[in-house]
Amino acid sequence: QKEVEQDPGPLSVPEGAIVSLNCTYSNSAFQYFMWYRQYSRKGPELLMYTYSSGNKEDGRFTAQVDKSSKYISLFIRDSQPSDSATYLCACARPTSGTYKYIFGTGTRLKVLA
């Protein structure tokens, strides 16, 4: 079983829709949770990170963490065609004096104009 699971999609939505992207994790040692956006043939770009359970909002993006269920989500409001990309979730846990980051497989999102 992978430590971080993510539905690969693809997910197609009309412009203006609310998008919900989700990941589950199995290791309760994870402390930090991140979402990255990756355009084709580009490196991942950090969107948001959270530490505790609850919600964190940044513009049209909301990250949600539920540690009791080991479930993390990213919501995108008023989605735009420019949001079309692959979204990667990542979880970080302490190990040997540093942190190890584990990434999901990514969900491909397409926002249709």
Residues 82-101 that bind another protein (CB under 8 A): 88, 90, 92-101
Residues 52-81 that bind another protein (CB under 8 A): none
Closer residue to another protein in complex, CB, 8/16: 8
Nearest distance from residue 30's CB to another protein, in Å?
A: 9
> Which residues partner with 90 through β-bridges?
34, 103
- Is residue 10 within the footprint of another protein (CB under 8 A)? no
Residue type, 5: E
Segment near another protein (CB under 8 A); pick from 14-22, 46-54, 56-64, 68-76:
46-54
Neighbours of 57 (CB within 10 A): 12
Who's near 71: CB < 8 A, 6+ residues apart?
Answer: 22, 23, 24, 65
Residue with tokens 């190990």: 95
Residue type, 19: V
Give the binding site for another protein (CB under 8 A): 4, 6, 8, 31-32, 34, 36, 41-46, 49, 51, 88, 90, 92-101, 103-106
